[in-house]
Structure 1
Amino acid sequence: MPHLLADIGGTHARFALTDNGHGIAAVQVLRCAEHPSLDAAIRHYLAAQGEPTVTAAAIAIATPVAGDAVRMTNHHWAFSIDAMRRTLGVETLLVLNDFTALALALPLLGEAELLAIGRGTRRAEAPIGVVGPGTGLGVSGLVRCGDRWQPLASEGGHCSFAPVDAREAAILQVVGRRLPHVSAERLISGPGLVLIVDALRDIHGLPAPLAQTPAAIAAAAQAGSCAICVEAAQAFSGMLGSFAGNLALTLGAFGGIYLGGGVIAGLGSAFDQPFFRARFEAKGRFADYLAGIATVQVTAAHPALRGAAAALADRLRADRDRR
């Protein structure tokens, strides 16, 4: 009987089925806003698959997971893990952070599913950092423990945003007048891209651009049809580079910094890779240290689902061993 997998972000909910391994099938992506609850979204998905009987499930979700109660940071869905387990009728329900799941997928990816950005090399078995702007800013990592990789459950995206240049300081000043705390996630995310555009418009004294959503801003930046959008995409690239460099220093991530999330892919050619990499390395006395660390974009389809499958397989194996 299949197992249910879910990767729940602030905007999209991705579902799949798996056997007791890493392979996934029947992937479907739903918009969270179109379903009143996670349970309703799951029921919609299972109905579309012909109501399969699932015996175990893993849910990777964009929020901290500590205890039975789960409430999303960037969406209104909330649930009890135990109640969800009983509703689904499964013996095992594993709930983990979505970027913990993404981190667990990294050892499973092939080189064709990765895109190097700039110089640097990945050292085998060295610590790995993961960061990804989507509806929020996911952060995780992997540390080698014996013959296994141990993922790090992190909410690093909510640390305070630190401006590096005058433009970023001006953006922080504008956004800081509206929010009590400007975290990195507030700017280095899809909604953050909108905030950057709005702040730059205020700074330059310009009317609001036609592009008002992350997708529209990305399209206008790629086309070069909106100067503010082009500048916002570059500013975003630099902010992400600085944040990724901070993560590399914090973890000693000589295994590489991996970039996930949907915003980078959405920006496409408007994502300024050279500026990202320059800001990644721009750490003064530790520039040479960072120059040796690889930065890699994850281009694989639905990697967090694969990480959730791996985590569920490990949980079921451990349960069998205890019996």
Structure 2
Amino acid sequence: MSASSSPVLPTSAFADGPRLLADVGGTNARFALEVAAGHITLVEVLPCADYPSLSAALQAYLALPHIAAAGGQAVRHAVIAIANPVDGDFLSMTNHHWSFSIRAMREECGFTTLDVVNDFTALARSLPQLSSEQKHQVGAGTARPNTAIGLIGAGTGLGVSGLIPSHGGWIALQSEGGHVSFAPFNEVEVSILQFAWREYEHVSAERLISGDGLELIYRALADRAGVPAEDLPAAEITRRALAGESQLCDDVIEAFCCMLGTVAGNVAVTLGALGGIYIGGGIVPRLGARFDRSGFRARFERKGRFANYVSQVPTFVITAQYPAFLGASAILSEKLASL
């Protein structure tokens, strides 16, 4: 499977028309059409802030001339992978102001089928399909076949999921593991946590290991160093660090990577993820070689009596551009096959 932004001429199009795939985060909503099994095309990324509702963004995508020409107005089956817990019919996003009823949206859009799943559940389902070119290993370890796989990813929030092998394939876990309480590893992280407590009664892992978390870590380290903190967004903190323009910003990236290593190691021992830990989200892939040489892997393996156990678990950065579409497609196909 591959995701493309250019039209594909499938050899065997779906008889009931193209299927809509959506991957909705707190910042952007990504849409694509699956015109035949495995042929995912016409990807568009729409800023969430530009639309009053998810339904408005979805219908704006389907109304684009080149999408309509490809059968967008004929879509009957759709799946939305969303950065939010999915429990019942009504959803209110954690990291954006959108809220909606699944049933009402299905009726409004004229869909026969509308499935809504957690975005990291969809991303988890994509993992067995990733090629060697779509992932990058950091550190040692070898994946064992037919064992659990863990997934963690930082972006607008911190997503956590996993895959458990079963006789019928894989079972994706629906998890909100990013909201576990943050646990500091050293004195620097204790000071960061103490600074965060000034703003939040409960400091979750997501409060620090996310885009907003980069900004919070920056303010905390500036306070610790006794220097004034500039009003820097996460993207600028990252840019200055990668450009070698700011030691403070580089310290932020290092702290972020180490914290991610702690949580990734926790996921590994919690799931028994001998099949590997995969790292998604928008932040880590942008760090490139800086992530490879960070303290992430060393921290990942710092598990005391279980250090040898965790050292055998490989860690991979997902480099595929739109991997959640692959998992969303599999989930929708299974749902339609069961009807």
- TM-score, normalization by structure 1: 0.96
Question: 1:308 corresponds to which residue?
Answer: 328
Structure 2 distance, partners of 1:267, 1:229, is 13
Measure how far apart 1:274 and its partner are. 4.4
Q: Contact conserved, 2:84 with 2:94, CA < 8 A, in 1?
A: yes
Picking from 166, 171, 174, the partner of 2:187 is 166
Residue 44, structure 1, aligned to residue 60, structure 2: yes
Measure how far apart 1:20 and its partner are. 5.3
Measure how far apart 1:103 and its partner are. 0.2
Picking from 220, 229, 241, the partner of 1:221 is 241
Q: Contact conserved, 2:90 with 2:101, CA < 8 A, in 1?
A: yes
Measure how far apart 1:22 and its partner are. 3.3
Structure 2 distance, partners of 1:214, 1:272, is 20
Structure 2 distance, partners of 1:86, 1:22, is 27
Secondary structure of 1:173's match?
helix
Question: 1:290 corresponds to which residue?
Answer: 310
Question: 1:9 corresponds to which residue?
Answer: 25
Measure how far apart 1:227 and its partner are. 1.4
Measure how far apart 1:300 and its partner are. 0.5
* Residues 1-323 of structure 1 aligned to structure 2 (within 5 Å): 1-19=17-35, 21-48=37-64, 49-50=67-68, 51-209=72-230, 212-271=232-291, 273-319=293-339
Measure how far apart 1:8 and its partner are. 0.2
Measure how far apart 1:298 and its partner are. 0.5
Measure how far apart 1:82 and its partner are. 0.3
Structure 2 distance, partners of 1:20, 1:6, is 16
Secondary structure of 1:16's match?
strand
Q: Contact conserved, 1:237 with 1:273, CA < 8 A, in 2?
A: no
Secondary structure of 1:300's match?
coil
Secondary structure of 2:227's match?
coil
Match for 1:240: what amino acid? L
Secondary structure of 2:238's match?
helix
**Cα shift readout 1:170-225 (whole Å, capped 9, x = no counterpart):** 00000111101100000001110010001111111111246x11111111000111
Structure 2 distance, partners of 1:293, 1:273, is 18
Percent same amino acid at aligned positions? 53
- TM-score, normalization by structure 2: 0.92
Secondary structure of 1:279's match?
helix
**Cα shift readout 1:92-124 (whole Å, capped 9, x = no counterpart):** 111000000000011111111010000001111
Structure 1 distance, partners of 2:217, 2:93, is 24
Query: Which ranges of structure 2 fall in alignment gaps of 5 or more residues?
Result: 1-16
Structure 2 distance, partners of 1:273, 1:85, is 46
Match for 1:224: what amino acid? G
Runs of 4 or more consecutive aligned structure 1 residues displaced over 4 Å after TM superposition: none
Structure 2 distance, partners of 1:83, 1:37, is 13
Match for 2:50: what amino acid? E
C-alpha RMSD over aligned residues: 1.1
Structure 2 distance, partners of 1:13, 1:246, is 30
Aligned length: 318
Residue 273 to residue 131, structure 1, CA distance change in 2 (3 Å): farther
Q: Contact conserved, 2:265 with 2:300, CA < 8 A, in 1?
A: yes
Match for 1:38: what amino acid? L
Measure how far apart 1:272 and its partner are. 5.1
Q: Contact conserved, 2:138 with 2:292, CA < 8 A, in 1?
A: no
Structure 2 distance, partners of 1:61, 1:97, is 5
Secondary structure of 1:262's match?
coil
**Cα shift readout 1:226-275 (whole Å, capped 9, x = no counterpart):** 11100000000000001000000000000000000001022333335441
**Cα shift readout 1:118-168 (whole Å, capped 9, x = no counterpart):** 000111110000000000000000001113100000000000000000000
Match for 2:307: what amino acid? A
